[in-house]
Amino acid sequence: MFFGFDPLYIGILAFTLIISGIVSVMVNSRFKAGQKVQIQSGLTGAEVASAILSDAGIYDVRIQETNGFLSDHYNPMNKTLNLSKDVYHGRNASSAGVAAHETGHAIQHAENYFPMWLRSFIVPAANVGSNLGPWLVIIGIIMMSAHILMGQSVAIFGVVLFGIATLFTLVTVPVEFDASSRAKKRLAHLGILQEGRERQVVAGVLFAAGLTYVAAAISSILQLLYWALRAGLLGGRRDD
């Protein structure tokens, strides 16, 4: 059968799309609400990042503006902290929270935080696994249906490859929540955010952002289980 019309697979995709959609709406809503909360310290996102880096004794990370909405990220390859325009120039709770979160990744890198190191290590294999893994499972199943030797081995190899991609999403969850935890502690320690509303808004923005990685992990786990089922690793092989 053609996998795109498998009711089970369609159900999994629909479920994960709904979860991802809900989380995406939540992130955008909280970020935009946080933009309306001007912080009393008056610092821009770039200034927040600079203050946290200095407090952590990190002086070899370059802060720069990047294009795109919520395209903020830390690049450990060239040690750059890339902040979107809204975050880089913003003087509000959302900008401070996102900038601090990305700076948390820079601190993780400087401290050789193991989950972050592990995530970076498996990135190449995860990229291959997410794209190639499902196709190998499909090819393996076709081979098994045609009674071709090594068919199940090919399918199992595809599952293993996709499993690496799933591992990446699982490792990403603690990395992201740890960065948010570091961010909130540094913001409080430096007095960048006032107690009460400012800190509550930032906590809400960062929690919602963290849920996007939880949703991605759930999606990947469900798909991994599906491919394992189709490869005959769970409940026997399905040929229908």
Domain of 8, in residue numbers: 3-230
Residue 11 CB neighbours (<10 A): 12
Which residue among the candidates 47, 65, 102, 111 is catalytic per the annotation? Answer: 102
| pLDDT recorded at residue 1 | 45
Q: How far is CA 240 from CA 4, 7, 142, in A?
A: 13, 12, 12
Q: What is the pTM for the complete model shown?
A: 0.88
Residue 238 belongs to a domain: no
Residue 235: pLDDT above 80? no
Residue 136 belongs to a domain: yes
| pLDDT recorded at residue 4 | 53
Residue 236 belongs to a domain: no
Residue 175 belongs to a domain: yes
Residue 78 belongs to a domain: yes
The number of distinct structural domains making up the chain is: 1
Alpha-helix runs per DSSP H in the chain: 7-35, 45-55, 85-89, 93-110, 114-145, 151-189, 197-230
Q: Would the CA dihedral through 24, 74, 213, 133 be positive or negative?
A: positive
Residue 70 belongs to a domain: yes
Residue 207 belongs to a domain: yes
Listed residue (165, 169, 191) closest to 41, CA to CA: 191
| pLDDT recorded at residue 147 | 87
Check if 176 is active-site.
no
Residue 27 belongs to a domain: yes
pLDDT class of 239 with cuts at 50, 70, 90? very low
Residue 11: pLDDT above 90? yes
